[in-house]
Chain A
Amino acid sequence: GQQLNQSPQSMFIQEGEDVSMNCTSSSIFNTWLWYKQDPGEGPVLLIALYKAGELTSNGRLTAQFGITRKDSFLNISASIPSDVGIYFCAGQNAGKSTFGDGTTLTVKP
């Protein structure tokens, strides 16, 4: 089946630093999604990307849909303590999503 490789697996950063994480796949996806999961909760959608090459921002978050449709990245600028959590990428085709294994972000004050 389809698999996504998400990296890095974890990140430990200082408050104020920028963060970058990415996902790659051997398969093409029509939609790329980025979610955040806080402890004890379900994932919440951060950014959705629908076109190859699309660059979209949501506050301090910026994500891009790769030209090949097989990859995507998420950047977080000027991190703050509440950015702590697990970030998941997901590729979606025909209403079905395939998730990466997540990037666990720790922000030190």
Chain B
Amino acid sequence: DADVTQTPRNRITKTGKRIMLECSQTKGHDRMYWYRQDPGLGLRLIYYSFDVKDINKGEISDGYSVSRQAQAKFSLSLESAIPNQTALYFCATSANGFRETQYFGPGTRLLVL
């Protein structure tokens, strides 16, 4: 079984709709992250959380919100989706500590029409 899972894996939605992407992990990690990836580009950090009560904005948080419901769950919401939010979204987790490695989920492919 995968340590980091994302649902859904693919989603098509319309402009203005609210959508939630979910991430779950069984690694027991405190830290969780949401990234987006656009074609030909690297991953850009949207939000991150270092524990259940901690939420921090990344470099591209506008238009997104997150919820850390439990240590194992971190969800990303688009309150009113727009076409330029069409992208591949990745969740990642890491342990605390200096040499923490990030483990990525398989990604959610989102298309906003």
Please report A residues at the B interface, Cβ cutoff 8 Å: 1, 4, 6, 9, 31, 33, 40-45, 48, 50, 88, 90, 95-102
Count chain B residues whose beta carbon lies closer than 8 angstroms to a beta carbon of A: 25
Query: Nearest chain B CB to A56's CB is how many angstroms away?
Result: 12
Contact between A48 and B41, CB atoms less than 8 A apart: no
Query: Nearest chain B CB to A88's CB is how many angstroms away?
Result: 6
Query: Nearest chain A CB to B24's CB is how many angstroms away?
Result: 14
Query: Nearest chain B CB to A96's CB is how many angstroms away?
Result: 6
Interface centre among B40, B50, B105 (most CB of A within 10 A): B40
Chain A residues within an 8 Å CB radius of B98: 50
Chain B residues within an 8 Å CB radius of A48: 99, 101
A-B contact count (CB 8 A): 53
Chain B residues within an 8 Å CB radius of A100: 42
Query: Nearest chain B CB to A86's CB is how many angstroms away?
Result: 9
Contact between B42 and A4, CB atoms less than 8 A apart: yes
On whether A101 and B105 interact (CB within 8 A), knowing A50-B99, A95-B31, the answer reads: no
Taken together as a complex, chains A and B put the C-alpha atoms of A6 and B107 apart, in Å, by 23
Binary contact readout B56-69 vs A (1 if CB under 8 angstroms, 0 otherwise):
00110000000000
Contact between A40 and B43, CB atoms less than 8 A apart: no
Which residue of A9, A42, A97 is within 8 Å of B45 (Cβ)? A97
Contact between A99 and B59, CB atoms less than 8 A apart: no
Query: Nearest chain B CB to A106's CB is how many angstroms away?
Result: 15
Contact between B106 and A97, CB atoms less than 8 A apart: no
Contact between A96 and B45, CB atoms less than 8 A apart: yes
Contact between A1 and B59, CB atoms less than 8 A apart: yes
Query: Nearest chain A CB to B85's CB is how many angstroms away?
Result: 19
4 extra interface residue pairs, beta carbon distance < 8 Å, beyond A6-B42, A101-B41, A102-B40: A45-B101, A45-B103, A95-B31, A96-B45
Taken together as a complex, chains A and B put the C-alpha atoms of A96 and B92 apart, in Å, by 11
